[in-house]
Amino acid sequence: MKSFSSFHPTILFLYYLLVIFISMFTMNPVILGCSLVGSILFFSMMNSPRAILKDIIYYFLVFILIAITNPIFSHNGETVLFFLNDKPVTVEAIIYGIAIGTMLIAVIFWSKSYSQVMTSDKFVYLFGRAIPKLSLVLSMALRFIPMFKEQIKKVNQVQKTLGLYSSDSITDRVLSGIRVLNSVLTWSLENAINQADSMKSRGYGLKGRTNFSLFKFDKRDMTILIAIILISVIVVLGFAFNIFEFYYYPAISILKLSRVGILEYIFIFILMILPFIIEVKENIHWKLLRSKI
């Protein structure tokens, strides 16, 4: 089920902007942890277990690499563990590496689910009015790519049958690649001009034309928009009052956990796992409906 992606594109874009910005804005370990958990949970709702496992293992290795290498490049911090080539390896640097690794991987997982949720039609819908020409270029190029790939395969097969460049040497591979691309270019340029003329004759770019779209801003969107705005106001206030302040160098600062602080962290956690909650809720709803049949 993909329930979160059925929200209005504005909501989705706003949400991702907010979440990625918060994750990159702060170094607070609790916020970064929430962001990582939220991004992985939502990503795992959208993909098959195998794909999830593969990605998690790969990024876990990246994470370890960053955490281990940071003390090699950074010698700040006052708690020295040992000396490596006369350079101090500090606890602070290791923990900073862990934090930055968490941030990087959280942002990567957010971007991964972003490209699954914000499909190009939604992007074009959102920005079609503000940047009509660029979004046209984008959507046309996206349509051309599968078409060209198909054509490249066809031309390649035909040329192989003709006996052109069929050996395995590198020169032959390069030459055949360029030859194929060249013929696809000829074919596509003529096609494209036809398309442009046809668009023009149908009045593309004239005033008063409307665009077809399937997206409607309904009650559900309004509710979630209000929720997101409320949470972000609370979070911004938290930043303004330095509740999330956290230092790694020279010594790791202590996490301030006042009553307000805990409340703030709860709100951040809710914000980060919002897409996951929506997916789970929808899944339960679906199962209930099915069990009634």
CB-based burial, 24-60: b 16+ in 10 Å, e otherwise? eebbbbbbbbbbbbbbbbbbbbbeeeeeeeebbeebe
Question: Is 202 or 292 the residue whose CB approaches other proteins more closely?
Answer: 202
Would you state the structure tokens that stand for residue 177, as one six-digit string? Answer: 């690649």
Q: Residue 127: how many CA atoms within 13 Å on its side-chain side?
A: 15
Query: Is the preceding omega at residue 275 within 30 degrees of 0, hence cis?
Result: no
x/- binding map, residues 99-118, to other proteins, per CB under 8 A? -x---x--xx--xx-xx---
* 152 binds other proteins per the rule CB under 8 A: yes
DSSP states along 99-121: HHHHHHHHHHHHHHHHHHHS-HH
- The single residue among 53, 61, 68, 145 that binds other proteins, judged by CB under 8 A, is 145
- The single residue among 17, 160, 197, 213 that binds other proteins, judged by CB under 8 A, is 197
- The single residue among 181, 227, 236, 266 that binds other proteins, judged by CB under 8 A, is 181
* 156 binds other proteins per the rule CB under 8 A: yes
* 74 binds other proteins per the rule CB under 8 A: yes
- The single residue among 6, 120, 154, 277 that binds other proteins, judged by CB under 8 A, is 120
State the DSSP H helix or E strand holding residue 90, giving kind and residue range, or none if neither: strand 87-90
Question: Which one of the spans 37-45, 146-154, 217-225, 228-236 is the region binding other proteins (CB under 8 A)?
Answer: 146-154
x/- binding map, residues 16-55, to other proteins, per CB under 8 A? ----xx--xx-x----------------------------
In whole angstroms, how far apart are CA 214 and each of 9, 122, 136?
11, 9, 18
- The single residue among 153, 160, 220, 281 that binds other proteins, judged by CB under 8 A, is 153
* 184 binds other proteins per the rule CB under 8 A: yes
Distance of alpha carbon 210 from alpha carbon 214, whole angstroms:
13
Question: Is 73 or 212 the residue whose CB approaches other proteins more closely?
Answer: 73
Helix, strand, coil percentages (3-state) for the chain, rounded to 5, are 75, 5, 25
Nearest approach in angstroms of CB 262 to other proteins is 25
Residue 291 three-state SS? helix
Would you state the structure tokens that stand for residue 161, as one six-digit string? Answer: 């049958």
- The single residue among 185, 237, 255, 284 that binds other proteins, judged by CB under 8 A, is 185
* 158 binds other proteins per the rule CB under 8 A: no
In whole angstroms, how far apart are CA 27 and each of 22, 97, 105?
10, 11, 13
18, 228 Cβ separation under 8 angstroms: yes
Q: Contacts with other proteins: how many residues (CB under 8 A)? A: 61
Using CB under 8 A, list all residues that contact other proteins.
Answer: 20-21, 24-25, 27, 66, 69-70, 73-74, 100, 104, 107-108, 111-112, 114-115, 120, 131-134, 136-138, 140-142, 144-145, 147-149, 152-153, 156, 170, 173-175, 177-178, 180-182, 184-186, 188-190, 192-193, 195-197, 199-200, 204-205
